[in-house]
Structures are given as C-alpha cells and as structure tokens.
Structure 1
Amino acid sequence: MAKKSPGSQKREDSLSRERIIDASIALLDEAGESGLTFRALSLKLATGPGAIYWHVANKSELLTAACDAIVARAMNAPLADATPEATLRAIALGMFDAIDAHPWVGSTLAHAPGQLPAVRILERIGQQLRHLGVPREFEWTTVSALLSYILGVGGQNAANAQFAQAEGLNRTDFLASVANTWSELDPAEYPFASSIAKQLPDHDDRADFLTGIDLILKGIGSR
C-alpha cells in the first residue's frame, strides 16, 4: 500500500468528511440541490476541490451522505418506554419534519432507493412492526406501505412549499383561492370536491399526515 505524504495526511486531518457533509447540508438548505457544487463547497470550506474529493467521490455520493446525516438524526431521536405504535408515529413525524425543514431530502431519497438513508428508515419501521406481531409473510407489504406513505406525503408537502416559495404564494391566500374555485364546481358532477372545499383553508398538513399514519396503524391492527 502506498504511503500518504505528510501534506496529504495534514489535508485529511484538517478537513473531515463530517465537516464537508455539514457544509453541504447548509448549502442545500440555502440554495437547494442546484446550489450544491464543489466550487461553492470549496468556497464555504475555504479549501480546494481536491481536498474535498479526498473524502467524497462525486456530487451523488455527497447528496446521499448529506441526506443520510439528516435521516440518522431523525431516526436516532430518543424515545423512552414508547409503545410500537407511538414509536412509529414518532418516526413518521420525525421524517415529515425533517423533509419539511430540508426539502431536498425528499428528492434525494427518491433518487437513492435501496441506499443507506432509506434502509435506516425501513429498519426502524420494520423493528416496530415485529414488535406489533405483524406476520412475516406480511412484513414487506406492510413496511412498504408505511415507507411509501411517509416519504410520499412528506416529499409532496415539501414540494408544495418549494412551489409556493418560488411563485411567491401565501399559503392562506392560495388555499382560500383553491377552496373558492372548488366550491363553484358543479355539485352534480363534483359532489365530493365541492362539498369538502370549505375544509381546505384551515387544514393542518402535519395533522393530516398523522391521521393517515393512524389509519394505516388501525389497518395493521385489524389484520
């Protein structure tokens, strides 16, 4: 094995992978995925691209590592003496809040199926499903349903927030406008949409998300 030069060793010691990931998260939060470039990262860390490549091979690996750091924090939140149901709700809400705070996490998870960030979530959910006594033949379909719901709804909520920010939309005004449009639909053709329109302006995305989790948990219990 080739020995590292003293200069290389010094560079490796002064710039850790953790520092690079933390700086990447900050850039992603500030400017989204397009804002994460090795040039921007080099400026933020006051170093050269070569020093970063010493720790990270490419942008794809960096995105996945940054995403994994956020997921790990959400999954490692302490829960003392919680029931499996309570733990599953906490896991779900933890990911919902993480994606809400870091919208790029949702798209990164979608583009990194089967990699460590998604496996962390799947493992935590799966362990609780076993505590609930879900039969082994139903484990995959059950964990898939929960994982798809958590990432799908969390990702869509983050996408909606990003769209609103990009378009300069106020959530309250936007929902009021949509509710007004729905209420004017022909009730004979759109009986459900027109009748539910009045619920749009005041609905709580986080509470709605948790209601969905509870519905899935009730379905698991009924089986």
Structure 2
Amino acid sequence: MERRSINVKIGSMTAKKQRTERRSDALSKERIVAAAIEILDTEGESGLTFRALAARLATGSGAIYWHVADKNELLAATTDHVIARVMTRVIGDAEPSEAIRAIALGVFDAIDEHPWVGAQLSREPWRTAMLQIFEGIGGRLQRLGVPEAAQFDAASVLLNYILGVAGQNAANARIAAGDAARTDRMTFLGAVAARWARLDAAEYPFLRQVSAQFPKHDDREQFLAGVALILAGIATVR
C-alpha cells in the first residue's frame, strides 16, 4: 500500500508538471500581444486592462504579469509588433526612394488599421518601433547621398509628415464612422465638399475651387504624393 501511495503521488506530480508546461507553452508573450491587439482594435486603449486580457485568454492576471510587467510595457510590445511587420515587408535592396515610400505607406496603413499605434508612437518616441522607422528612413537618405548635415532634418521632416498625416487620416476615419455610420466615405466627403462650395468666394477662393475634387480624392494616393514632394525637395540638397 505504501509503494502504491508513492506511485500515485509521483504520477500526480508528473501530470501536474506536464499541465504546467503545456500552460506555459500556450500562454506565450506572442499570444498575449495578439490578444491585446484585438482588444485595442475593438475597444481602444481604455478597454485594454489586464482583467479584460485575462478573460480573453482564459487565464489569470498573474500568468500575464509573468510575461508583461505593466500596461505600458504591453502597449510598447503591441506597437513594436505592428511596426516590425511593416519593416519586414520593406525589401532590403530596394532603391532608397522606393524603400522610403514603402516604409511610409506601411506605417500609414498600419495606423489606419490600428489607430492606437499612432498615439503610442508619438507618446514614447524612444521605443523600438519609432527607432526602426527613423533608422529605416535615415539609412535610405544616406544611401541617396543626402549630405550628412541635412540628413537629420530630412529624416525628421519625413517622419513627422508620415506620423502626422497617418494620425489625422485615422482621426478623420473615426469622425466619419462616428457620424452614425449611416453614410459611406463618398457621401461623407461629398457633404463636406458641398459646405466648401457654399463658402464666400472672396474669403475662401481656394476651397471653393477644390471642392469638386475633394469627394473623389484617394487618401493613400494623396499621402504618397506628399512623400514624393518631400523627396523631390530633399533631392535639391544632394
């Protein structure tokens, strides 16, 4: 009986160890980050709590704290994950100007899909995600032959344009969606253009002139047009 008791105890400990190992493997930092991104996309930053994350992952908060120290670290990890995917899609040996366009458009699309990323990048510019974007742009400007004295200014202008326009585009999308989601983009822009067309011609001649173009413009194409204009300006200092 004593030998059997020992065997049962050993068997129980082995089974417990196996369950613990399986649980540790299942609850990886990658799974936590993926679940956090889902919450951020659907509920925003205020909806991301360790309690909500634990419920989604069907685990305890303590298990999450084993991988992530706090919410700030979690937000940094989710942002790093999104931007890392952008940067891995940029072809390493692409022509520098094309690589800059790819980085710019990748960040634009990432912030459009995950609006919280733009806020996080601006809030903590020393994090890995921002460093990767800045290095990706600056390294390509070096390869373009931009003089060293102009590289920082040129990279900063591009970075600020990318984050500023991408963030504004994401904000505009939320405004349009918040308009009771009862209208599509074309209708929404058409309503704005109609207001512009009714402005006083003496006070707002430009806005009246472009009001017909506004509903038909493509945000991504206009964004890339801006990148091209900046690159053309940078080329003059080479």
Q: Which amino acid aligns with 1:172?
A: M
Q: Which amino acid aligns with 1:72?
A: A
Deviations 1:86-111 (A, max 9, x none): 11111111111111111111111121
Please show how residues 124-163 of structure 1 align to structure 2 within 5 Å: 124-163=136-175
Task: Indicate the residue corresponding to 2:213 in structure 1.
Answer: 199
Q: CA deviation at 1:190?
A: 1.0
Contact 2:90 2:103 (8 Å CA) reproduced: no
The answer as to 2:32 corresponding to 1:38 is: no
Structure 2 unaligned spans of 5+: 1-16
- One of 111, 123, 148 as aligned partner of 2:135: 123
For normalisation by structure 2, the TM-score amounts to 0.86
Contact 1:103 1:162 (8 Å CA) reproduced: no
Report the secondary structure of 2:216's partner residue: coil
Q: Which amino acid aligns with 1:95?
A: V
Q: CA deviation at 1:215?
A: 0.2
Bigger drift between 55-64 and 73-82 goes to 73-82
Task: Indicate the residue corresponding to 1:83 in structure 2.
Answer: 95
- One of 29, 33, 38 as aligned partner of 1:21: 33
Contact 2:90 2:99 (8 Å CA) reproduced: no
Q: CA deviation at 1:189?
A: 1.1
Distance in 2 (alpha carbons) for counterparts of 1:78 and 1:186: 46
Task: Indicate the residue corresponding to 2:3 in structure 1.
Answer: none
Q: CA deviation at 1:7?
A: 9.5
Bigger drift between 122-131 and 157-166 goes to 157-166
The share of aligned pairs that are identical, in percent, is: 53
Q: 1:70 to 1:218 in 2, by over 3 A?
A: same
Structure 1 unaligned spans of 5+: none
Q: CA deviation at 1:13?
A: 4.0
Q: CA deviation at 1:78?
A: 4.4
Task: Indicate the residue corresponding to 1:212 in structure 2.
Answer: 226
Task: Indicate the residue corresponding to 1:73 in structure 2.
Answer: 85
Q: CA deviation at 1:9?
A: 7.2
Q: CA deviation at 1:16?
A: 1.3
C-alpha RMSD of matched pairs (Å): 1.9
Q: CA deviation at 1:85?
A: 0.7
- One of 179, 186, 191 as aligned partner of 2:200: 186
Give the greater-gyration-radius structure (CA). 2
Task: Indicate the residue corresponding to 1:47 in structure 2.
Answer: 59
Deviations 1:59-105 (A, max 9, x none): 11111110110000001104264210111111111111111111111
Instruction: Count the aligned residue pairs.
Output: 219
Deviations 1:19-57 (A, max 9, x none): 111111111112221221111100111110011111111
Q: Which amino acid aligns with 2:101?
A: R
Distance in 2 (alpha carbons) for counterparts of 1:14 and 1:140: 44
- One of 90, 103, 120 as aligned partner of 2:115: 103
Contact 2:90 2:102 (8 Å CA) reproduced: no
Report the secondary structure of 1:181's partner residue: helix
Q: Which amino acid aligns with 2:199?
A: L
Q: CA deviation at 1:166?
A: 2.3
Report the secondary structure of 1:164's partner residue: helix
Task: Indicate the residue corresponding to 1:171 in structure 2.
Answer: 185
- One of 50, 68, 93 as aligned partner of 1:56: 68
Contact 1:187 1:194 (8 Å CA) reproduced: yes
Distance in 1 (alpha carbons) for counterparts of 2:130 and 2:194: 39
